[in-house]
Amino acid sequence: MNLRTVKSDESTLTGLVAGGVLVGALLLGACKPADAPSSGVGVGGTVPSVSMMPLTNMVPVQAGTFMRIKFPVTLSQDYWIGKYEVTQSEFERVMGKNPSRFTGDSNRPVEKVTFIDASNYCARVTDQERRAGRLPAGFEYRLPSEAEWEYAARAGSTNQFSFGDDPAQADAFAWTGENSDGMTHPVGQKQPNALGLFDVHGNVWEWCADWFEAYPARALTNPVGPATSKYKLFKGGGWNQDAPFGRASSRFMMSPSNGIHFVGFRMALGRPLPQPVAWPAIGIPDILRARCRPIAGASQSDSNSGAIPLNFHCKDTS
């Protein structure tokens, strides 16, 4: 099924272009449930021999545009994204291990996973679903691009959070430093965003597919970051940081070979991401000066993690 073929006036958000305003349509539940079979219509209207049957709890997202800083970012392909962060039980069932620090409830999000571990998990799920005849050629489970993650997290919102601009409202939607008691919590306990995604703010930060780099100052279509860099990025805020760090635009980075107890991930399902192209090189100190601002009282949680010190809030400041 091509997600764009299913429309509903009541369940589609349409926005206007204006300083931070989303453009286009974001499908909110008008499609077939994610665990239902789909006809799998491919590029050019061809029908793959294998029907598309997304995993349960994969939420369909329709192509569209949102504003980043002063420039539009367009996603031209529909995709799915996980309703929940990947849990410890899901990760252990596929990978045969659970690296998490906060155990005791297997429905807690997996953490202390490296970018490499998260990518390998997605690759194994892709192989498993393809072998089971539920995933046609040309589609894969993978990490979302930063743009896919932010577009889905915003769910039509043009505010700093999916629920508005006031961090004081975060308690209903997110496990953060103010209410987490210093630990992760089972997924899905807080209110979801308008797309039905849980924990997009808080609980654990979430790996994205992109290498970290300053944003180019221009309109983008299907951006996937630079061709290479030193750090991969993660988004969404976590149990260890106060609510303002969970803004939809906030971004942090870490070496892809490092894992830490406040970073996990959620899966996306879609066509393979386009190959990134080289962006102008920029050093991390330059990034911090250009795109981040100091946060009073914030501190680095783990000096051995390879993460950029958390006394910088890596969000758009222009």
pLDDT at 166: 75
Per residue in 250-283, pLDDT tens? 999 999 999 999 999 999 999 999 988 765 544 4
Q: Which structural domains are found in the chain, ordered by start?
A: 22-313 (3.90.1580.10)
pLDDT at 170: 79
pLDDT at 313: 42
**Residues forming a β-bridge with 75:** 64
When pLDDT is cut at 50, 70 and 90, the band that residue 37 belongs to is very low
**Is the pLDDT higher at 281 or at 209?**
209
**Residues forming a β-bridge with 71:** 68
Please report which helix (H) or strand (E) contains residue 287, including its range: helix 284-291
Tokens of 22: 């989303």
Mean of pLDDT values over 218-239: 95
Q: Give the predicted TM-score (pTM) of the model.
A: 0.75
Q: Which of 105, 111, 112 is nearest to 259 (CA)?
A: 112
Summary mean pLDDT of the chain = 78
pLDDT at 276: 84
pLDDT at 45: 39
Q: Taking the CB of residue 19, how many other CB atoms lie within 10 A of it?
A: 8
Contact, 153 vs 72, CB < 8 A?
no
Per residue in 120-135, pLDDT tens? 999 999 999 999 999 9
- Per-range mean pLDDT, top range of 8-22, 121-135, 154-168, 239-253: 121-135
pLDDT at 42 over 60: no
3-state secondary structure of 310: coil
Residues 128-158 as b/e (b if ≥16 CB within 10 A, e otherwise) read ebbeeebbbeebbbbbbbbbbbbbbbbbbbb
When pLDDT is cut at 50, 70 and 90, the band that residue 193 belongs to is very high
pLDDT at 11 over 70: no
Q: Give CA separation, 246 vs 145, 237, 266, 315, in Å.
A: 17, 4, 16, 10
pLDDT at 69: 85
Residue pointed to by tokens 């010190």: 309
Mean of pLDDT values over 72-86: 97
